[in-house]
Structure 1
Amino acid sequence: MRPFEYTRAASPGEAGQMAAAPDARFIAGGTNLLDLMKLQIETPDALIDISRLDLAAIERTDDRGLRIGALVTNADLAADPDVRRHWPLLSRALLAGASGQLRNKATTGGNLLQRTRCGYFYEPSARCNKRMPGSGCDAMEGINRMNAILGGSSACIAVHPSDMAVAMRALDAEVETLSADGATRRIPLGDFYRLPGEDPSVETVLAPGELIVAVVLPPPHGGWQTYRKVRDRASYAFALVSVAAAVRLEDGLMRDVRLAFGGIGTMPWRDQRVELVLEGKAPSDKLFDEAARLLLQEARGHGHNDFKIPLTRRTLMAALRETTASFEEETSA
């Protein structure tokens, strides 16, 4: 690990000013950043410790939504009674995301900013445009079983690793930030991440020194929610495919359909065209298959990850069956 300067910030504003310097990074739980520093994939000159800031509250908003502080741990968020009752999709995704030890340290803001687990990104001797722009992408012709089938470019097919972000994308979350100059903004999660394009090293729309202070959820969806994750083993494994689904049924028709996907995209993936195909229609396997075909219309496998295309179709259909069947059983009981 290379030498670096360590400073503990006394306030969010001070943290932003400190981190506006070149090659400075925020650190809270450090569950991803420290690993990357040990491998010298991340080599910051300065670490700004924000772990003692007052950003660890979970609060209801005036419109019955939820404001989640950036330093709320994944464990506390998953166990929060309001989250479990009104946003169960988020709780399930968090519990599927990592071991208990990691959930006790990982924070909400850090989870959104965790970097890809692509093996070529983690191997300093490999070509990786995300790690070293312009060097090439060894995943294209290499072992790419875990890589993306949607949202990739000729420069990068690294998949986004977060389970929490997939659930929050389905729940229409917004990211609240504080800039180094004191300005604040709210960024819809759908606008927060960038597709890789020609420069996959730039992953979000955050400016230097811009600090995530909270994530805001709108009022509860009110329908049936599920998070289905397919992985290589039952514990502590990243998704091959995951589906976050939230659906309301009214008079036998699907309403307010929300779907987001993990394990298949270069960012937490949501295609609202797929939701519109389902909106206002009676659930059926034929309809679910139509939605899956639309989702995967532009999907591209790269050899080892070709299996993700049929697996995504089956996982989406299973998630939709689960949400609609469970809701019908509940309402008829």
Structure 2
Amino acid sequence: MGDPAGIGPEITVKAFSHKSIHKICKPIVIGDSSVLANAVSFLKSKVKINSIKSVDDAKFSFGTMNVYDLNNVDVKKLKLGKVSAMAGNAAFESVKTAIQLALDKKIDAVVTGPIHKEALNLAGHNFSGHTEIFGYYTKTKNYAMLLVEGNMRVIHVTTHISLRSACDLIKKKRVFEVIKLADEACRKLGIKSPRIGVAGLNPHASDGGLFGWEEQKEIIPAVKAAKKIGINVEGPFAGDTIFPKLKGGSYDIVVAMYHDQGHIPLKLLGFSWNEKKQKWDSVSGVNITVGLPIIRVSVDHGTAFDQAGKGTATEESLLNAISYAAAMAKNSN
């Protein structure tokens, strides 16, 4: 359900009001029943909570929300929209529990609500985000973040680190690994012959070395190595031109070198801010961690503490994430 102080609980309740998700999967929420009951209350939802301690106890029917209750939040002390160690710990425990259930084959896929990195670390869990938690607890070394919005797919070589550190991590081995993960991810999404474009790190992809050396020394050799094993890949190309070509259909996926290079174009398409209403009219797109032994899909937005408890947050991205997780689970069987 994500951080209990954010919008995760309320968008979860909203998602359960859609019959569509019950037609494509058997949904279970991992979190705290009292937090979700509070969300049901202020949303005036008709969803009924069924608290369970085992997946086998779930009752799947529209109108019922099965909650794998961790009972780890004191709602009397919980302050919506505020960073706290209690909320950060609750979010962490729900993620860790979900990972273990997936590894134990008790569930087919995990969909994560938004967590707050400061709260997570305040609780003593030193991870920079979901992706790193999943990598650690599944003992996976080669994984990557994939964002999807419509026909736009972007996978990242680096993510939650400083920009200065990201530049130092652009190495042939890592770029090559992510190109392979891009090819595998597209195939799992039903694309039989993926076309992959690779973005450069520097402006104009360095213009032959005028603005940097990473393209010549690290990225180009990685692209050549991927071609040798039969992957259909091109690049590196300038970041300001490769994404319009991705949108236009030249590629099925683009390999981005760092967090914002990939996130900005995807969120520009999937997010729509209404200045007059001071709210998001649309928040779509999903985040998939590829390379894991389990399926993990997430909403592509944060905890939105400024909206928490108001009932105005949209469940659009969560619905998209559930759809992708269900489709990937089906393709894996």
Q: Same fold (TM over 0.5)?
A: no
Larger RCO (alpha carbons 8 Å, 6+ apart) = 2
More helix by share: 2
TM-score between both structures, scaled by the size of structure 1: 0.23
Normalising by structure 2, what TM-score?
A: 0.23
